[in-house]
């Protein structure tokens, strides 16, 4: 009443009165029941001026997309014939305009505990209602060359795993959870059971279907659910992994630009640092008639970032004794990093501290002075900003594009052909990260950097790329200039540069005519390691 929760009643009829309430659920049901504004799905680019907001068709992060395969995958029941209908697990609906908002939710899965210890292994069972045709897409993905089923069998002690989604078709049930955030409890149970059937069926399909490659099938049958885990639930986890459901729209909305320090964050109550990470939200048919996933994000936060007090608080006129440390006030993009469990623990401590201070002084949570909160959090060892000297030594930091003279084209602006994967694992890159070819020598990949130069004349052409021992030592670079094309083979395990600018490899001096676009093409032709692309720079030189 009058903006305050007096009590809540659970489904069994019990009533719990209280002075302060904290909604620490993944779904935000108390926030919504209290009449506080919430959002789910994705904001558009224009809502908060976020570069990675909304529908992200053509943006390929991680390796959870079909462009990592040597061949394309056909979505139709009769390959090449749209009139035959679309196979299961592929949506016939258009994906939406790039950057537009939608109600689609990033995919859920169960994080299963598996083992390859024979004495503790439960063999894969045929689930009730199993139909192998449900997994036609998995069969076609294997036929297109996919083999990396086991990349997220992350090891735990005692020969066990925490198994997660990995690849174009995996344990994420893409598109099956859109109504989960605001569904009834009964409907949510249906969605959860459907996810379990999908995932158990997928495992059984890989283990038994004759279309699965023998080496994959033999290996999956070395694995099974752990017999001593979840013994009261047929060895299956009790909880589905709700990566994202409702998000509160509170006093302050955290965005991509706050996490990346392009905008300041006021009144810090804790910090996050994980990369901005979203799993796919849809699987659609491209204009060329192939299957593709969309929604996967992997964007660097450029080191740790602050989280605002206002992101835990509803607007004052909506509720004054409620806090939300999990379904925080953040956009979909920002929530992709904030959603890590250690961050929820940090924000849980800060939310409880706000509630306690509000209780002591008979105030609304929005009236707690930040100075008082900050003092108590620091006394309790909460970290509210990056300690001096930590960020650069512990986290990859992007180099400043604005510091470069000349004309620069980043990898995000290049025309990338063949399916490049975005990353920010290594340091020393310009912009939001870099791209690599997935060490996929079987598929031709090109990155075409093209720009108009301000004047005709001599330019030094320079490259940036993060070095590593696993890089190709003969990456092909073609420079298109006034006198023709010059081809270099460069060793990307290192940068030996005579260029004055740090972290740039000078490829030589070339004449360019401003009436023709300047062009540099990097490809994985005959590469012998990972090909990485970041920035190409044209530095004008004085006429000699």
In the listed set 233, 256, 271, which residue is the last one of a domain according to the structure? 233
Together in a domain, 499 and 477: yes
- Give me the pLDDT at residue 220, please: 98
Same domain flag for 457 and 510: yes
Distance CA 459, CA 461 (A): 6
Indicate the DSSP class of residue 120.
G
Look up residue 264 and give its two tokens.
């300041």
DSSP code per residue over 225-257 = EETTSSGGGTT--SS-B-----EE--SS-B-HH
* Residue 2 is assigned to a structural domain of this protein: no
Is there a domain that residue 441 lies in?
A: yes
Across 222-251, b (16+ Cβ under 10 Å) vs e yields: ebbbbeebeeeeebebeebbbbbbbbbbbb
List the alpha helices (DSSP H) in 209-330: 214-220, 256-259
The pLDDT value recorded for residue 502 is 59
249 and 228 belong to one structural domain? no
**Beta bridge partners of residue 450, listed in sequence order:** 519
- In terms of residue numbers, what domain contains 211? 114-233
Do residues 487 and 420 both lie within one domain? yes
Distance CA 497, CA 480 (A): 21
Model pLDDT, residue 390: 64
pLDDT in tens, 302-328: 889 999 999 999 999 999 999 999 999
Shared-domain flag, residues 524 and 413: yes
Q: What is the mean pLDDT of residues 480-508?
A: 83
Span 80-137, pLDDT tens digits: 999 999 999 999 999 999 999 999 999 999 999 999 999 999 999 999 999 999 999 9
Residue 12 domain-assigned (yes or no): no
Same-domain check for residues 209 and 342? no
Task: Let me know whether 465 and 489 are in one domain.
Answer: yes
Answer for the pair 447, 523: CB distance below 8 angstroms, yes or no: yes
Mean pLDDT of the region 500-516: 85
Does the pLDDT at position 349 exceed 50? yes
The predicted-structure confidence for 213-232, as pLDDT tens digits, reads as follows 999 999 999 999 999 999 99
pLDDT tens for 52-77 read: 999 999 877 777 889 888 899 999 99
CA distance 158 to 257: 42
Same domain, 284 and 223: no
Residue-averaged pLDDT of the chain: 93
Q: Does 250 fall in a domain?
A: yes
Place of tokens 């720009």: 451
Is the pLDDT at 385 greater than 50, yes or no?
Answer: yes
Average pLDDT over residues 513-520: 94
Are the C-beta atoms of 305 and 340 separated by less than 8 Å? Answer: no
The two most distant CA atoms of the chain are separated, in Å, by 87
487 in the same domain as 436 = yes
Whether residue 34 lies inside any domain: the answer is no
CA 328/CA 326 separation, integer angstroms = 5
Q: Which two tokens stand for residue 336?
A: 């992709």
Number of domains making up the chain = 3
264 shares a domain with 229: no
| Domain C-terminal end among 191, 213, 233 | 233
Note the pLDDT of residue 543. 57
pLDDT at 338: 98
Report H helices in 339-402: 341-360, 370-379, 390-394
pLDDT classification of 394: cutoffs 50, 70, 90: very low
Q: Which of the four pLDDT bands, split at 50, 70 and 90, describes residue 185?
A: very high
Structure tokens given for 466: 């993060």
| 500 falls within a domain | yes
Mark whether 249 and 381 lie in a shared domain: yes
Residue 32 lies in a domain: no
Could you say which of 233, 254, 284 is where a domain stops?
Answer: 233
Write the DSSP symbol of residue 275: P
Q: Is 20 part of a structural domain of the chain?
A: no
* pLDDT confidence of residue 403: 75
- Quote the CA–CA distance of 417 and 427 in Å, as a whole number: 24
Domain CATH number, residue 494: 2.60.120.260
In a shared domain, residues 250 and 384: yes
Distance in angstroms (rounded) separating the CA atoms of residues 542 and 544: 6
């Amino acid at each position: 009443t009058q903006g305050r929760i007096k009590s809540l009643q659970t489904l069994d009829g019990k009533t719990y009165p209280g002075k302060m309430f904290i909604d620490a659920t993944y779904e935000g049901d108390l926030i919504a029941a209290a009449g506080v504004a919430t959002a789910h799905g994705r904001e558009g680019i224009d809502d908060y001026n976020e570069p990675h907001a909304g529908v992200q068709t053509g943006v390929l992060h991680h390796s959870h997309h079909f462009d990592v395969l040597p061949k394309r995958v056909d979505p139709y029941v009769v390959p090449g014939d749209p009139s035959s209908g679309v196979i299961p697990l592929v949506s016939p609906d258009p994906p939406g305009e790039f950057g537009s908002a939608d109600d689609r939710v990033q995919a859920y899965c169960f994080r299963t505990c598996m083992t390859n210890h024979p004495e503790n292994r439960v063999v894969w069972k045929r689930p009730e209602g199993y139909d192998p045709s449900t997994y036609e897409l998995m069969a076609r993905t294997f036929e297109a060359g996919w083999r990396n089923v086991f990349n997220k069998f992350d090891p735990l002690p005692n020969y066990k795993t925490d198994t997660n989604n990995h690849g174009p078709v995996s344990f994420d049930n893409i598109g099956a959870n859109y109504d989960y955030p605001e569904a009834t409890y009964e409907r949510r149970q249906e969605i959860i059971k459907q996810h379990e059937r999908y995932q158990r069926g997928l495992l059984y399909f890989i283990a038994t279907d004759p279309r699965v490659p023998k080496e994959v099938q033999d290996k999956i049958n070395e694995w099974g659910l752990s017999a001593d885990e979840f013994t009261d639930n047929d060895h299956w986890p009790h909880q589905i992994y709700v990566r994202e459901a409702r998000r509160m729209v509170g006093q302050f909305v955290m965005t991509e630009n706050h996490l990346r320090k392009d905008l300041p964050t006021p009144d810090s109550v804790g910090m996050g640092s994980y990369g901005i990470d979203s799993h796919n939200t849809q699987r659609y048919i491209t204009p060329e008639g192939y299957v593709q996933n969309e929604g996967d994000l992997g964007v660097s936060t450029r080191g740790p970032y602050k989280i605002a007090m206002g992101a835990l608080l509803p607007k004052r006129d909506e509720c004054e004794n409620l806090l939300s440390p999990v379904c925080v006030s953040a956009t979909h993009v920002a929530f992709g990093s904030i959603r890590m469990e250690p961050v929820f623990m940090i924000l849980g401590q800060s939310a409880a501290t706000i509630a306690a201070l509000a209780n002591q002084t008979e105030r609304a949570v929005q009236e707690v002075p930040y100075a008082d909160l900050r003092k108590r959090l620091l006394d309790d060892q909460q970290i509210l900003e990056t300690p001096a000297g930590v960020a650069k030594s512990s986290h990859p930091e992007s180099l400043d594009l604005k510091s470069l003279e000349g004309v620069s084209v980043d990898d995000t602006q290049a025309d990338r052909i063949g399916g490049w994967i975005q990353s920010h694992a290594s340091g020393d890159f310009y912009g939001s990260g870099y791209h690599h070819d997935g060490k996929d020598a079987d598929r031709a990949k090109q990155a075409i950097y093209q720009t108009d130069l301000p004047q005709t004349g001599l330019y030094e052409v320079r490259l940036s790329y993060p070095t590593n021992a696993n890089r190709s030592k003969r990456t092909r670079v073609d420079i298109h200039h006034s006198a023709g094309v010059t081809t270099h083979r460069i060793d990307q395990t290192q940068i030996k540069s005579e260029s004055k600018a740090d972290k740039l490899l000078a490829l030589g001096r070339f004449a360019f005519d401003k009436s023709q676009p300047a062009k540099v093409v990097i490809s994985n032709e005959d590469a012998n390691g990972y090909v990485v692309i970041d920035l190409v720079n044209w530095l004008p030189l004085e006429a000699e």
